């Protein structure tokens, strides 16, 4: 056991680094440590920036989503209000058209009744006028017929076989029965014209 320990101590003494080597190794380790710390700081800074960027992007996305959602809600509200307004407007227009058509229909009915009444009055007036004219014509005809009968009775005694001797006696003053003929002819013509009416 002592023999082995002696060998180990000898090996350690033979392998023991020098002071310069230790300083060099220490400096190298410090440099590596500094580099690792710097690298770590850089990575931590990048991670911090990435976290900030991620947070900023997340905040921006949430704000954008909220803006879009609010905009859509506002648009939906406007569309709903517009729909309700149009529905009310259409209902009012339909009611107005219905009332307007109803008023026009009532006006047409009144005009129809007025026209029918006016036509009835005009027809009645025409019938009454024609009836009066017919009655007047009948009375006038009867009067003319009586006049013809009277003229005929008055003319009968003067109608003798005696003729006017001379051809110059064709005037009504020279020949009495000739003076009656125009009067009777005029009466007959008047009767005929009255009947034609």
Higher pLDDT among residues 123 and 7, named by residue: 123
- Assess whether pLDDT exceeds 90 at residue 5: no
| 24-38 average pLDDT score | 92
CA distance 15 to 17: 6
Each residue's pLDDT tens digit, 150-159: 888 887 655 4
Asked whether 155 and 187 are in contact (CB, 8 A), the reply is no
Tokens at residue 155, please? 């003319």
Asked whether 184 and 159 are in contact (CB, 8 A), the reply is no
Instruction: Give the SS3 label for residue 71.
Output: helix
* pLDDT given at position 152: 85
Using a cut of 0.75, tell me whether the model's pTM lies above it: no
Tokens at residue 44, please? 């931590």
Report the percentage of the chain scoring pLDDT > 90.
Answer: 58
| Backbone φ, ψ for residue 18 (5° rounding) | -80, 170
For the chain, give the mean pLDDT.
Answer: 80
- Assess whether pLDDT exceeds 80 at residue 12: no
DSSP 8-state code for residue 160: -
Higher pLDDT among residues 2 and 30, named by residue: 30
Each residue's pLDDT tens digit, 105-131: 999 999 999 999 999 999 999 999 999
* pLDDT given at position 3: 46
CA distance 12 to 21: 15
| 36-43 average pLDDT score | 93
């Amino acid at each position: 056991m002592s023999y082995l320990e002696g060998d180990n101590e000898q090996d350690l003494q033979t392998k023991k680094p020098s002071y310069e080597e230790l300083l060099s190794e220490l400096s190298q380790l410090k440099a590596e440590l500094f580099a690792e710390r710097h690298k770590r700081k850089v990575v931590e800074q990048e991670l911090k920036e990435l976290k900030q960027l991620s947070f900023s992007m997340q905040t921006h996305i949430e704000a954008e989503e909220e803006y879009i959602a609010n905009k859509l809600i506002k648009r939906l509200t406007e569309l709903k209000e517009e729909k309700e307004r149009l529905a009310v407007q259409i209902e009012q227009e339909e009611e107005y058209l219905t009332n307007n058509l109803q008023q026009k229909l009532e006006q047409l009915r009144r005009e129809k009744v007025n026209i029918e009444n006016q036509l009835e009055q005009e027809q009645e007036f025409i019938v009454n006028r024609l009836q009066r004219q017919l009655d007047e014509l009948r009375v006038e005809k009867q009067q003319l017929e009586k006049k013809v009968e009277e003229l005929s009775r008055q003319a009968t005694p003067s109608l003798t076989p005696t003729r006017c001797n001379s051809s110059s006696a064709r005037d009504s003053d020279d020949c009495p029965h000739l003076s009656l003929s125009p009067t009777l002819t005029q009466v007959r013509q008047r009767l005929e014209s009255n009947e034609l009416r």
